[in-house]
Amino acid sequence: MSTTVILFWFLSALALLGAMMVLISKNPVFSVLWLIVVFFAISGHYLLLNAQFLAIVNLIVYAGAIMVLFLFVIMLMNLNSNTEPQKNTWLKVAGAIAGGSFMLIMIDVLIDAKDMQTKTALIKEGNIGLIKNLGRVLYNDYLIPFEITSVLFLSAMVGAVVIGKKGEAPNQ
Amino acid sequence: MPIEYYIMLSVVLFCIGVVGVLTRRNAIIIFMCIELMLNAVNLMLVAFSKMHHGAEYLTNPTSTAGTDAQLFVFFIMVVAAAEVSVGLAIIVMLYRNTHSVDVNFLNRLKN
Amino acid sequence: MMFSGILVKHHAALKNIAIAGLLVLLGLNVGENYGFALFDINTTNMLHFERFGLLFNSICIFSTLLFVMLSGKDVEKVGNYTAEYFALIFFILCGIGIVTSYVNLMMLFIGIEIISIPSYILTGSDKKNLKSNEASLKYFLMGAFSTGIMLMGIALLYGTSGTFLVERAAAQTPSISYLEAMGLLLLFISLSFKVSLAPFHFWTPDVYDGAPTVFTSFMATIVKVAGFAAFIRLFESRYGSMGSQTERLIAIVIVLTLAFGNLTAVFQQSVKRMLAYSSIAQAGFMLFALFSLNDAAKEGLILYAAAYCLATIGIFAVLVKMEDGTFEGFNGFGKSQPLLAGVLTIFLLSLAGIPLTAGFFAKYYMLASVVKTGNNLGLVIIAVLFAAVSAYYYFKVIQAMFFKDGDVSFPAVTSRFKYLMVAVAAVIVILGIFPNLLLQFMYF
Amino acid sequence: MSQLAYLIPLFPLIGFLINGLGRNKLSKSLISIIGCGTILASFIVSLLIFFEVKQPGFRAVTVHLFDFIRVPAFNIPFDFQIDQLSSLFLLIITGVGFLIHVYSSAYMKEEAPQHYGRYFAYLNLFVFSMLLLVLGANYVIMFIGWEGVGLCSYLLIGYWFKNNEYNYAARKAFVMNRIGDLGFLLAVFWILQKLGTSTYSEVFANAANFSTAEVTGITMLLFVGAMGKSAQIPLYTWLPDAMAGPTPVSALIHAATMVTAGIYMIVRSNVLYSMAPGTLGFITIIGLVTALLAATIAIKQNDIKKVLAYSTVSQLGYMFLGLGVGAYTGAVFHVMTHAFFKALLFLGAGSVIHAVHNQQDIRYMGGLKKHMPITHITFLLACLAISGIPPFSGFFSKDEILAAAYAHNPVLWIVGVITAALTAFYMFRLYAMTFLGTFRGTHDQEHHLHESPSAMTIPLIVLAVLSVIGGFVGIPEVFAPNAHALANFLSPVIVAPAESHHLSHATEYMLMGVSVGLAAIAIFYAWTRFSKRPEIADATGAGKMLANKWYIDELYDAAIARPLVAFGGFLNRFVEKSGIDAVVNGVGKGVQYTSNKIRLLQSGQVGNYILMMVLSMVLMILLIFYGHNLTPILNKVFK
Amino acid sequence: MIPVLLILVPLISGLVTLFLRQEKVSKTWALFSSVITLAIAIFGAASANTSGNLLAFDASWVPTLGARFTFGLDGMGKVLTLLTAIAFPVIFASTFKNRYSGSNAFYGLMLFSQAGLMGVFLAMDLLLFYFFWELALIPVYFLCSRWGGERRIAVTWKFFIYTFAGSLLMLAGILYLYYQTPDHSFAMRSLYNIELTQRGELFVFWTLFIAFAIKMPVFPFHTWQPDTYEQSPTAVTMVLSGVMVKMGVFAVLRWLIPIVPNAAVRMSDVVIIFSIIGMLYASLIAIRQDDIKRLIAYSSIAHIGLMSAAMFADEGVATQGVVIQMFSHGINVIGLWIVADLIEQQLGTRKFSELGGLAQKAPTLAILFVVMALANVALPLTNAFVGEFLMFNGLFRYNHWMAGIAGISIILVAVYTLWMVQKVFYGEARTGVEMIADVSPGAKYMLITLVLVVIVFGVYPQPLINLTNDATKILAQLK
């Protein structure tokens, strides 16, 4: 068993554990922290897959920026452990069953996908994940989406301003 | 690694996200679960990227096959960031008005 | 088209500038449709402009133009950020330009997001109103969820084909693999969500109801039909290999959508909410285009988009100004505003699919496309029966307007508004008699 | 001359139009002159035509007016046919009709001008329709007249429209006639379908094309028509009720002309009937039973007109008996004599009613003999005629029918003779109670008793003369060989020979003797009994049964009319409102209900929404990837 | 050219009417334009078939669909356009005294419905036909709901949804037909030559027939009708029962039987049995009505039942009878409605239990009504006799027993019609009816005109029959 295999299993387990903990944690702050753990695990996977750029971006953008934003909002709202007052167990069970069956059925279907059974993901070789390659493709083939994303950001910015700016008190 | 492992891992992560969306009622945590789903997809895309690249790589080491998936992941992250900013703004706005982020209280609109 | 995105950045200003911008856009669009492209940008396999998309785009722009002209004043009343609202509307238009002409799934994703994010914001733009806030959050959460599903679908598709191009992906795999099938299914589901097909329609009534009426008007019409354009483009090339199970699935979705939309609309008290449900029902009809995916389907979708947008925008333009949005609120409207009531009647008739209005030919083409595919007559019968149900609630408005007495508080409107409404009604009637005036753009 | 046949119905039509449209402006005398004059003109033309027809070797003449209905499948011309039969009926109709018109002009004197005009218009219209009926050269034209007389009968029965009883009677008459008309109509359809024509000459020429079943069916259906029009069992109850109309109307329509239309039609179709022995048997039985039944009822009636009405029904039964046994000539003969004496009886009754101020109950009459000599004499003559006392006209015609019946089957004869005796009995009961004894009405009425004006008595006298001598046109062979002028006259029209020729003279004398003897006994008994002890008290026991007409009206009411109306009510209330309409509304309600339920799915909870989305995703995946097993079922639903 | 004029004249004058605010003016204008239409219709009916473009019109409409503006005036069309053209001036004139709030809208909508009706009878293209089919319905919906009786909204509502559902079913059938034509068109000619599978024929048959059956209406699709007739303003009821129900009958003859003859033959037993049940059923119910309008409504159902049965008898005679009867029934029932309206307008009631003895106060009205009632009974020498005679004739050829059973209705029709006459006009005058004046000149002349039509075509129906000959020819060719 090579190091990569060990790492793969370790990271997978970590990711799954983190994901479960996000779900289970009562305190939102812990959820955020567990989510960061998941992101780290996923970044680890990226590294394993030789996608160094994405690994870094993932850490910086997700774990660094987005999650901090989440944390910030949670802190701002002062949401502590018991923020979910009434428990609707029925809904939870139903949700879990539905999600679970969704998972089972997807796995069942995808396992049957014959054309995937022989293929493997290249672990170490290849350097498409490097910035150099990505940058070239991005600015050649993917220029338009790149430009258009600016519209997206602009709209998000405008939106954040429209929504976030303090208005009058609600009248209802 | 066999690609199936990655598929399974992603699907399981994805579904944990789905279950999270279904079972939690805190809007922020639901949102986080959605982010979890996105990350599962990202992981899968990267794995596929390497898979396709690997197929080309054997014959042509300079091939850039699979790059597009990684770029896609990049775009997903970008979009997610935008989404988060808007989403959190909305949540904050609601919180300011109702002092709650419990989605179960959101039932003024029904029937 | 491409330039919309660039243009609008500078045009986030007042209504008149918006109108001017839209006129320019419309001109460019129509010009391009006739082959006079002003610019030519190499889109490198991201976008491809062809008749269908362009025509669709033109319809969306034209509808937006009308929307701005009819309801521009009301946009200003929503809040203090008029310029921003217009900007957001233009962003959405940009997204529509993308989804009507994408060839790369990445563009689809980005386009949908560009449409969605401003929509979330517009929904929540009435910040004082808790309903608006609530709608916005609901919309956002569910929208993000469906985005996740869409991405999963795209990822799975990529997994089988190694490309994001719609066409090439189809060409590579003549027989469909489980992975691809699952990917397509997930894409179908998430797009169904965007165009509010049952059983993924649940957000629609709440969001449309909660959003400021003027934006509901925009979202329920232009945004929604754009979703269908995306739908068509996605499945156009893949459909043949998907097998009878999918056809059946779509049929089930159609029936469910028609049933949910129509049946629930029957019981509504608020016209706005009724229109929300009716928009679901109309989506069910538009899905016929996907079911049959032939020439008639495309023609029909174009016509449907035009008829539906024009009529719904017209109705909303009046609804926005009403103080009482329930059916009772319309009592006696025919007496106090005979002209507007008459025009509204034409809109409602069009939505119900009565001949002599564009709505008839729209529905006609849709049904025709199904019949053309073969013997799915059961589906046609179900559809027409539900169309009869739809007449039920549309006519409730007409009844209230003409046959019941009541005092309507309706602000004075400018004669320009009235003339514009009459003009829209005239367009609907003309299209109802000569649908070819629009459809000829598809072929020349 | 016969080419001018169209003039005959034209005159009454003109009279109808003038009187009908101008009734508010014309004076009464002018109205009566127009009313009577047009009929007189028709009578004169009829007479001229009759003389032409009477010449030996006359062949039937068809007068073509225009094509009534011409479709690819058949052509129905508006044609008149002049032959022996129709010209004879023309004479009866216009002749008796004229007399009754004259009589009416006096009888209706007290009516307001516009109603007077209406009355004459109706009467003229009736004559027009009746003429159409007998003149028509095909069954459809006959049917037009056939329905037309029904209409006029309806209008005239309900002439005094303020009285709802009368209106009911009128409606009853029309509806019952309609039942018969339906039969007639179906028969016409059958003929048209089979032969593509309804013109008599062509139908009879091609009668051989019919199978026995067909011809039996057609003749039966035609007979149903005759039942309605000629008041035979089971469609006879309208006729007594029809006495609600003015008395001259009863005389004209319900005694002399319209009710004999059935006889005319069957005689006209004798070619067909001769081919259908089954139908003839049926007619015989119906005729006989009707004759007997009506006679028994007449015994206990106290309304002067009702007695006459049942008598008419009974006599019509006689005629059908004659038709049934093949004595077509005899039936026509009886039609003719009956027209004379029954019209006379009715007019006499009218005269009496006139005198006693609209009192119709014979229990409150009596002793009118001395007050109204002319009426009395003529009435007596008519009674003798109808009772079959030689040498009055009734004797000859009745005898011919009875003889034919005997030849056919002696049992028929026995019943016929009994009926004849009953006829004599009730007629003289009527006579005795009206004219003999002492007056039993109020003092006031007695004071005003008077003979009728001459406009009324002259027709009485004329008819009385005819009743007395009318029988000599049909003297049977036993008295004078080949003297039966009527039979000779009609022979071109009637192809089937009567069976009476088989009887020996001795038998015939015997038969006559028995019937006349029985009649004489009945007369004697009635005369003596009722002139001294008039029957005042209400009948009891069997008599009550008869007085109440065997409760047939009640039976019809309970068995047909009420159930139908009740069924209509049931349909209206339960099937229509709670049934079909409820289903229709139920669809709407169902939609509303489902709407109300489905609406609840929209709970407003994001969690629920997403849950449902996920669940449906699961189901969709199941359908797509595991749905092959569902294929057969789904195929059925969506293909 | 004439077909286009027949549609455009009412359509344009309807539009004009909308802008004539003054009541008097709009009334007069509507009457005037309807008289012009009548003149055109008479001219059209009198023109020979051979005169080229005079009676036909053809222009491109939706080329991608193969739909064309094709109008033509054949014999059957002539009869029905004539009926429509006669009906409207008569309606306008006889209700001239009635006041409608917003009269410009009222008369405008009336004229629109006339245009729609004309279109239905003239269209030679199935899609065009469908268009006009709906166009005729919508104005009537508005008319009934706006100017009707107390329960008008709910009642008209039902009527509308019911017929609309039917129309939509028909649309499904039309679509199917369209794709089965070899040249993908809606033209009558190609539809007549269409060849369908047995299943296809049945599908088309039922989708179309149900739509037509609802319109006619045939038992058991009739329940909208009495309520609607009762609640509509009488002028509209006249349009509905006089002309509009003929649309269904006409459509069966023009679009159903020729296109799917085999299915029509196969299903004829079913349809005829239902029609006959409907005839008797409606007649029995009519006997129990206490309202003039409802009684006439049920009577109308019974008459239509006969037409429906006769149409499917598959006999030329019956078909001709149906066409003639469409005309005759239209005239007669309008006459009855005029009287019903006069009574209601003057006395404010239509209940038999509150009426009686009107003949003393209004003798002219009584006579005219009796003539109309007798025409309703189909007495010989009234126009209805000819039609019924031919129809029963055809039905008899089809099946003796069915004709016999159907014939019971001619007894029942006498029962209830005469009952109505008796209840309204005869008997002692009731209190409350004294104020009735005899018929007003306008209505009187209209009624006299109708009576003349009744009698003239009753005595000499050949002109009408000649017009119907080609309806039979078409059916004969198909055999």
pLDDT, tens only, D331-372: 888 888 888 888 888 888 888 888 887 778 878 777 787 888
Segments forming the whole domain that contains residue D388: 276-536
Query: Which chains have 3+ CB pairs within 8 A of B?
Result: A, C, D
| CB atoms C260 and D631 under 8 Å | no
> Which member of D588, D602, D617 has the closest CB to residue C202?
D602
Residue A126, pLDDT > 70, answer no
Whether residue D581 contacts residue E298, with contact meaning beta carbons closer than 8 Å, is answered with no
Reported as a single tens digit per residue, the pLDDT across E387-411 is: 888 898 888 888 888 888 988 888 8
| Look-up of token digits 């004398």 | D509
Cβ–Cβ under 8 Å, residues C347 and C398: no
Structure confidence at residue D483 as a pLDDT band (50, 70, 90): low
- The answer to whether C343 contacts chain E (CB < 8 Å) is no
**pLDDT at D592 exceeding the cut of 60:** yes
DSSP H helices, C100-177, are: 105-123, 130-161, 166-172
Q: Chain D residues with CB inside 8 Å of A106's CB?
A: 621
The answer to whether the CB atoms of D638 and C248 lie below 8 A apart is: yes
Owner of token pair 């709906």:
E134
List the single residue in E134, E157, E172 with the smallest CB-CB distance to C354.
E134
| Contact flag D614-B18 (C-beta cutoff 8 Å) | yes
More confident residue, E62 or E106: E106
Task: Using an 8 Å CB-CB cutoff, list chain D residues near B106.
Answer: 604-606
A129/D192: higher pLDDT: D192
The distance of A80 to chain D (nearest Cα, Å) reads 22
Pick the last residue of a domain from C242, C270, C285: C242
Residues D438 and D560 in one domain: no
- Residues D299, D368, single domain; the answer is yes
CB E212 within 8 A of CB E245: no
Cross-chain Cβ contact D171/E419 below 8 Å: yes
Asked if D611's CB is within 8 angstroms of A102's CB, the reply is: no
Question: How many domains does chain E divide into?
Answer: 1
Determine, for residues B70 and A92 on separate chains, whether the beta-carbon distance falls below 8 Å.
no
What is the tally of structural domains in chain D?
Answer: 3
Residues 6+ apart with CB under 8 A from C83: C12, C13, C14
Q: Which pLDDT value is given to residue A172?
A: 41
Say whether residue C367 is in contact with chain E using an 8 A CB cutoff: yes
Q: Does residue E351 surpass a pLDDT of 60? A: yes
The H or E element that residue E342 is part of is helix E316-347
| Residue D280 and residue D378 in one domain | yes
Q: Are strands E56-62 and D74-82 parallel, antiparallel or unpaired?
A: unpaired
E and C make contact (3+ CB pairs below 8 Å): yes
∠ Cα B19 B24 B28 (to 5°): 110
CA distance C119 to C143: 10
Average pLDDT over residues D201-226: 87
Determine how many CB atoms are found less than 10 A away from the CB of residue E63: 11
Domain range enclosing B42: 3-105
Question: What sign does the dihedral D160-D162-D164-D165 (CA atoms) show?
Answer: negative
Q: D383 and D445 share a domain?
A: yes
Residues D628 and D527 in one domain: no
Contact B42 A159 (CB under 8 A): no
E vs A contact (3+ beta-carbon pairs below 8 A): no
Report chain D residues whose CB lies below 8 A from the CB of C375. Answer: 639
Range of the domain at E299: 2-478
Contacts 24+ apart (CB under 8 A), C52-55: C52/C229, C52/C232, C52/C298, C52/C302, C52/C442, C53/C100, C53/C101, C53/C229, C53/C233, C54/C1, C54/C29, C54/C100, C54/C101, C55/C302, C55/C441, C55/C442
Residues of C in contact with D599 (CB under 8 A): 264, 267
Percent of chain D past pLDDT 90, that is, above it, reads: 0
- Domain residue extents for chain A: 3-80+88-129, 130-164
Our count of domains for chain B comes to 1
Say if residue A38 is exposed, middle or buried (CB neighbours under 10 Å; 0-12, 13-18, 19+): buried
Task: List the subunits that have 3+ CB pairs under 8 angstroms with A.
Answer: B, C, D
Choose the closest CB to A19 out of B16, B57, B84: B16
In angstroms, the CA D332 to CA D490 distance is 9
- CA–CA distance, D212 with D217 (Å, rounded to integer): 8
If asked whether residues C53 and C96 sit together in one domain, one would say yes
The partner residues of D281 in beta bridges, in order of sequence, read none
Strand partners, D76: D69
DSSP string, D59-95: --EEEEEEEEEEETTEEEEEEEEE-HHHHHHHHHHHH
Average pLDDT for A129-151: 81
ipTM at complex level? 0.85
What Cα–Cα distance (Å) separates residue E279 from each residue in E242, E401, E403, E414? Answer: 18, 15, 12, 13
Spell out which residues of chain A touch residue B16, defining contact as CB-CB under 8 Å. Answer: 16, 19-20, 22-23, 99
Please state, in angstroms and rounded to a whole number, the distance separating the CA atoms of residues D99 and D11: 16
Handedness of CA D546, D549, D552, D558 (dihedral sign): negative
Q: How high is the mean pLDDT of chain D?
A: 83
* Contact criterion met (CB below 8 Å) for D184 and D145: no
Decide if E154 touches C, using CB distance below 8 A. no
From chain E, pick out residues whose CB is under 8 angstroms from the CB of C392.
161
Q: Are residues D520 and D379 in the same domain?
A: yes
Pick C114's closest partner by Cβ from A113, A143, A152: A152
Residues of C in contact with B34 (CB under 8 A): 141, 144-145, 147-148
Q: Are residues D355 and D456 in the same domain?
A: yes
Contacts 24+ apart (CB under 8 A), E183-186: E183/E66, E184/E65, E184/E66, E185/E66, E185/E67, E185/E68, E186/E65, E186/E66, E186/E67, E186/E68, E186/E125, E186/E126, E186/E127, E186/E128
Please tell me whether residues C275 and C415 are part of one structural domain. Answer: yes
| D144 lies in some domain | no
D458 and D566 share one domain: no
**Residue B37 belongs to some domain of the structure:** yes
Question: What are the strands, taking DSSP E only, across E316-454?
Answer: none
Please judge whether B8 and A107 are an interchain contact, meaning their C-beta atoms are less than 8 angstroms apart: yes
Which pLDDT value is given to residue C149? 92
Contact C158 B69 (CB under 8 A): yes
D365 falls within a domain: yes
**What is the phi-psi region of residue D71: left when phi exceeds 0, alpha when psi lies from -120 to 50, beta otherwise?**
beta
Q: Select from A4, A19, A88 the Cβ nearest to the Cβ of B36.
A: A19
Last-in-domain residue among C211, C242, C273: C242
- What is the arithmetic mean of pLDDT over D105-123? 84
Closest residue, chain D, to A113 (C-alpha): D625
Nearest-CB residue to D622 (from A98, A99, A105):
A105
Distances (CA, A) of C336 to E16, E21, E25, E393: 21, 16, 23, 57
The enclosing H or E element of D527 equals helix D505-532
β-sheet bridge partners, residue E60: E68
CA atoms within 13 A on the CB side of B53: 28
Q: Do D614 and A102 touch (CB under 8 A)?
A: yes
User: Per-residue pLDDT for E51 more than 60?
Assistant: no
DSSP state of D56: T
Number of other residues whose CB lies within 10 A of the CB of residue E153:
18
Task: Answer whether residue D268 is part of any domain.
Answer: no
How far is Cα of residue E166 from the mean position of the Cα atoms in its chain? Answer: 17
Write out residues 82-101 of B within 8 Å (CB-CB) of D. Answer: none
Q: Kindly tell me if the per-residue pLDDT of D444 is higher than 80.
A: no
Q: Please answer yes or no on whether D618 and A102 come within 8 Å at the CB atom.
A: yes
H, E, C per residue of A29-54: HHHHHHHHHHHHHHHHHHHHCCCHHH
Q: For chain B, first and last CA: distance in Å?
A: 50
Residues C190 and C300 in one domain: no
Domain of residue C423 covers 243-444
Q: Which of chain B's residues have a Cβ under 8 Å away from the Cβ of D600?
A: 111
Query: Does B22 touch chain D if contact means CB atoms closer than 8 Å?
Result: yes
How far B76 CA lies from chain A's nearest CA (Å)?
A: 11
Beta-bridge mates of residue D82: D61
Return the DSSP state at D276. -
| Cβ–Cβ under 8 Å, residues C26 and C65 | yes
Of B22, B106, B109, the CB nearest to D611: B22
**Distance between CA D132 and CA D121 in Å, rounded?**
16
Q: Which residues of chain A are within 8 Å of residue C182 when distances are taken between CB atoms?
A: 106, 109-110
Does residue D154 sit within a domain?
Answer: no
Contact indicator for D263, D316 with CB cutoff of 8 Å: yes
Annotation: CATH topology of A3-80+88-129: Four Helix Bundle (Hemerythrin (Met), subunit A) (1.20.120)
Chain A residues touching residue D603 (CB < 8 angstroms) = none
| Chain D touched by C193 (CB under 8 Å) | yes
State which amino acid sits at residue E25: V
Q: Which residue of A has its CA nearest to B30?
A: A23
Is D615 in Cβ contact with A95 (below 8 Å)?
Answer: no
pLDDT score for C42:
57
Nearest to B33 by CA among D278, C6, D182, D607: D607
Establish if B110 belongs to a structural domain.
no
Tell which of C151, C189, C264 to mutate to test the B interface (max B CBs under 10 Å).
C151
Q: Is residue A70 within 8 Å of residue A31, measured between CB atoms?
A: no
What are the tokens at C421?
């409404």
Those residues whose C-beta lies under 8 Å from the C-beta of residue D542, and which sit 6 or more positions away, are: none
Return residues 48-107 of A near C (CB < 8 Å). 106
CB contact residues (below 8 A), chain A span 24-63, against chain B:
28, 31-32, 35, 38-39, 42, 45-46, 49-51, 53-54, 57-58, 61-62
Q: Tens place of pLDDT for every residue, chain C, 444 residues?
A: 444 444 444 444 456 666 777 777 777 666 665 655 555 555 556 677 777 777 888 888 888 888 888 887 777 777 777 778 888 888 888 888 888 888 888 888 999 999 999 999 889 888 888 888 888 998 999 999 999 999 999 998 888 877 888 775 555 555 667 787 888 888 889 999 988 887 888 889 889 988 888 889 888 888 888 888 888 888 876 655 556 677 788 888 999 999 988 988 888 888 888 898 999 999 998 888 888 878 788 888 888 998 999 999 999 988 888 877 788 888 888 888 888 888 999 999 999 888 888 888 888 888 888 888 776 778 888 888 888 888 888 888 888 888 888 777 777 778 888 888 999 999 999 988 888 888 777 665
- C-beta of residue E227 within 8 angstroms of C-beta of residue E110: no
Report the C-alpha gap between A19 and B24 in whole angstroms: 13
pLDDT, residue A171, reads 44
- Which D residues in the span 548-607 are in contact with C, Cβ-Cβ below 8 Å? 588, 591-592, 594-596, 598-599, 601-602, 604, 606
Q: Give per-residue pLDDT as tens, E284-307.
A: 888 888 888 888 888 988 999 999
Whether D382 maps to a domain, the answer reads yes
**φ, ψ of residue E69 in degrees (nearest 5):** -80, 90
Per-residue exposure over D400-416, b if at least 16 CB sit within 10 Å of its own CB, e if not: bbbbbbbbbeeebbebb
For D531-562, write each residue's pLDDT tens digit.
Answer: 777 666 676 677 777 777 777 788 888 888 88
CATH number, domain of B37, equals 1.10.287.3510
For residue A33, what are the contacts with CB-CB under 8 A and spacing of at least 6? none
User: Which residue of D602, D604, D614 is in closest CB contact with B106?
Assistant: D604
pLDDT at residue E446 tops 50: yes
Q: Do D625 and D568 fall within a single domain?
A: no
Residue among E243, E232, E223, E427 at smallest CA distance from E332: E243
Which chains are adjacent to chain D, needing at least 3 Cβ pairs under 8 Å? Answer: A, B, C, E
Q: For residue B88, tell me if it sits in a domain.
A: yes
Instruction: Fill in the DSSP letter of residue C24.
Output: H
**Do C228 and C305 reside in the same domain of the chain?**
no
Report which DSSP code applies to C165. B
